[in-house]
Amino acid sequence: MTAESILIAPILTEKTNELRSQGKYVFKVHPSANKIQIKNAVHALFNVKVINCTVINVYGKVKRTRNRPGLTSSWKKAIVKLAPGETIKVFEGV
């Protein structure tokens, strides 16, 4: 897998904005990617030093459509902690 296919999209919410002040950035990642691949992809794409990577599987929620139960899609989330003083400019709005 390439670095572009591992990181699908950044996640921008109020909670992730709070984490950004701690030097943590959140991404939606490929479901089969592991921590080492995610660290290498962030380093390759943004040229920053990654200290830690936490991976979370987000399971689909049960939703109802026309009185029939269904599920939303499951996906994988990665929280990446950078070295002190380093930032990703895409998140900062530059």
pLDDT of residue 78: 98
3-class DSSP state for residue 37?
A: helix
Task: Tell me phi and psi for residue 39, to 5 degrees.
Answer: -60, -45
CATH class of segment(s) 3-89: alpha beta
3-class DSSP state for residue 21?
A: coil
pLDDT of residue 89: 85
- Per-block mean pLDDT, blocks of 10 residues, the chain (94 long): 93 94 96 96 96 97 92 96 91 65
pLDDT of residue 1: 87
Write down the domain spans for the chain: 3-89
pLDDT of residue 58: 97
CA separation for the pair 71, 10 (Å, rounded): 23
Q: What is the mean pLDDT of the chain?
A: 93
